[in-house]
Amino acid sequence: MTIIEQKIDSVGARGYIIKACVFAMISIALVLANFFVENGIGGMEPNAVDNLLIENETEVLFPDNGVVRLEKGEGFVKTYDSGISYAFEFSGPRLWGNFFSSKENLMIVVDDVVIVPMGGVFDLKFDGQYLDMSAYNGDVKIEFLPKKVEMGEIGYGYVDAVNRLLVPRGRKVTIPMKKVNGDIGALLPSKLMKEFKYAIISDEDRRDKWVMDNLAADDAAAVANGQKFSELIVSGPVDTADGIVSELGNYLILFPEKKFKDQFENVFSVLDSAVYYASRGDAAKVTEALSKFMDNSFLISADLEYSKKTDEYIYRILPVAGGDLYSEILNSLLDKRFDGQQYETLRLFWREVYRAIDGGEISPEKALDLYYTYLNRMDSGDRVFLTFQNQLFDNLFLHYPMFYRDAYFSMKGTLEEKLLKAYANDPLKNEIIQSLVSSKIDFLKRLRKFFFDGNIEIVMAKEIFSRLVHEVNDLLQDKTGVAVLKLFESELADVGDFWGYLSSPEYQTKVYGATHRDRYEAYLKERKKIAGFTDIREDILGEQEGQRDVADIVAEIEEVFAAQPEIRDLEIGEIGNEDQRFVEVSGVVGGYSFRAQYDRSLEALKDIYVFDELVSENAVKLDKILVVLMGKFAELAEDGVEPEEEITLESSAHRMARVFVAKKVVEFGFLAE
């Protein structure tokens, strides 16, 4: 061997040794990185083994965090199982399902009815004749199947239902099975709700032992998941080897499959770091790690495993964490998946609205704003989808006063326009209009309740009341408007007085009571006229349903005074038109002749004169007139009255008249005794 050959061989040996050392270092780094990743936050164990359904006597655990509990450990038979979707036949008597933090594809078949949890937590009862389902959280879809459907044909995604009904959170439905037939196929949801018993879950329902026990079990499971999550994040961020793995690994890994696996693990180790920093309240670090995750996730985002891994964070990890920074991570993940999975992602944004209502770190208003941002990005004209979204808003307004803001009613108005557009040339459009009007009537009544409960201020209450009336008026422009108006006039018998109170600032002071409810009672006692919906429309919209003549107004005034029998000899002055608020009147009360201005709005007298002397400029209620006059002229009574003499109201009036005449005689230069 030549010297040159020896040198070359020596260099090669040293190079081999160096290369071997480098490979050893990288191997150690990769092992450490894999350890962190595989034991990281994304490695939380689900309730069941992946793709394996665990069934025992009283409980069925699903791979993706769902659970069904059976009251008697029977009546729940699996008929379809693909590993990712399931169908069960339920024959009773009772079960509890919780799929709030689950992405399970599940159908529960009860004869010709199918229960589809949409993140729902529900109580289901069946006795062979009646099906009762109550949604305690999330939402549940009910589908009605055509007759003679074989169980083997039913799997996830069955789309040939003859009709569908959404049961949102806080609602329950009772379905007589004999009514599940072909006749319900053409019914809109509003008619289905009337066909079946569709109601709000009562306090008594919530006190049921079965319900309370299952809610407690759900809470215990959530606490356990939260503790498991906390244990995983205490050790620190898990991307410590990221620099070595991503740089040297990309240079030296020879096999594409291995390179992809390591890229996959590295990307999610960064996401784990974002979750860790969120637990420490380090917003800057969360933003940095989250940005890094988003920038690099394109390397693996097309892979099925990426979607599965991301779902672990979306469904199982972040919901049990809570907090603003966790929400930031969750919303970023949802945003990234939105374009590819719009409907499911929108449902998850809606789930966050429910979580916020239950006391999440972000406000319910912020959660709803975010949901609507993505709803607005969808250009769907699907009738079922739009109907369900409209029902969700209806349910929010019926339960939660924090959403009684003009902006949220504006959101719903936009959604209603899309729904009406979807039925533009359909005869069913008139039924949609009636349903929308009926909902707004319910909102007016609920607005009144929330207002008197102290949840809504006067200005906002009046603004929303006005908006709803305008919206009803717009809907009633249709040719069926008169019929619809008559239909709902009776339902608004007392809402008119609520508007009257909102429009009467003189009653909204502490003089009439400590609370709005007290003041409203005082207002009702002094009001004789109950405004109907037509009157409200005229007041708010400035429209006239038809002019009234002078005789009608005279009759109206006479009717008011007739309720005060002590007022006699009433004479009513000139009335120019029906909008005239003040009318001159005169009469006699307790022997006192008076003239005054009658205020039609307040049903009171002002500028009251007796024998040409001004008694009161202020408004005085009709039943208080005599008291005011007696108090004013008491000092004019003669001093020579014997103690035992009975002083009648009539004698006081005569006495006042004599004093008045004597005074006038003296003014003209005569003596008066």
Each residue of 76-120: pLDDT tens digit? 999 888 877 889 999 999 999 999 988 888 999 999 999 999 999
- Classify residue 498: in a domain, yes or no: yes
Residue 17 phi, psi dihedral angles, 5° rounding: -65, -45
In the prediction, which pLDDT does 586 show? 95
Report the SS3 class of residue 285.
helix
Task: Compute the average pLDDT of residues 217-243.
Answer: 70
Q: What is the pTM of this model?
A: 0.71
Beta bridge partners of 165: 142
In the prediction, which pLDDT does 326 show? 84
CB burial of 414-436 (b: ≥16 within 10 Å; e: otherwise) equals ebbebbeebbeeeeebebbbbbb
Whole-Å CA distances, 514 to 448, 452, 501, 518: 18, 12, 15, 6
Taking CA 417 as the corner, what is the angle to CA 416 and CA 419, rounded to the nearest 5 degrees?
Answer: 60
Range of the domain at 119: 54-216
403 shares a domain with 309: no
- Classify residue 580: in a domain, yes or no: yes
105 shares a domain with 64: yes
- Classify residue 444: in a domain, yes or no: yes
- State the Cα–Cα distance between residues 373 and 414, nearest whole angstrom: 13
402 shares a domain with 509: yes
Kindly report the length of the chain.
Answer: 673
Nearest in space to 598 (alpha carbons), one of 545, 560, 542, 646: 560
Q: Is 67 exposed, middle or buried (0-12, 13-18, 19+ CB in 10 A)?
A: buried
556 shares a domain with 535: no
Read off the tokens for 124.
């289901």
* Residues 6 or more apart whose Cβ sits within 8 Å of residue 147: 112, 181, 182
Q: What percentage of residues in the chain have a pLDDT greater than 70? A: 71
Express each pLDDT in 169-193 by its tens digit: 999 999 999 999 878 988 999 899 9
Q: How many CB atoms lie within 10 A of CB 236?
A: 12
In the prediction, which pLDDT does 601 show? 74
Of 181, 216, 251, the domain-final residue: 216
Report residue 181 CA to chain centroid gap.
32
Is the pLDDT at 411 greater than 80? The verdict is yes
77 shares a domain with 29: no
- State the Cα–Cα distance between residues 242 and 494, nearest whole angstrom: 68
Q: How many domains does the chain have?
A: 4
207 shares a domain with 74: yes
Q: At what angle do helices 364-377 and 324-338 cross, to 10 degrees?
A: 10
In the prediction, which pLDDT does 634 show? 66
- Classify residue 347: in a domain, yes or no: no
Express each pLDDT in 589-604 by its tens digit: 988 899 999 988 778 8
Express each pLDDT in 469-527 by its tens digit: 889 888 877 545 455 566 566 666 667 788 889 988 888 888 888 999 999 998 888 77
- Classify residue 191: in a domain, yes or no: yes
- Classify residue 663: in a domain, yes or no: no
576 shares a domain with 541: no
- State the Cα–Cα distance between residues 399 and 364, nearest whole angstrom: 13
Q: Give 336-387 as a DSSP string.
A: HHHTTSHHHHHHHHHHHHHHHHTT-SS-HHHHHHHHHHHHHH-----HHHHH
Residue 394 phi, psi dihedral angles, 5° rounding: -55, -45
In the prediction, which pLDDT does 669 show? 52
Task: Compute the average pLDDT of residues 574-601.
Answer: 88
Nearest in space to 275 (alpha carbons), one of 229, 322, 326, 238: 326
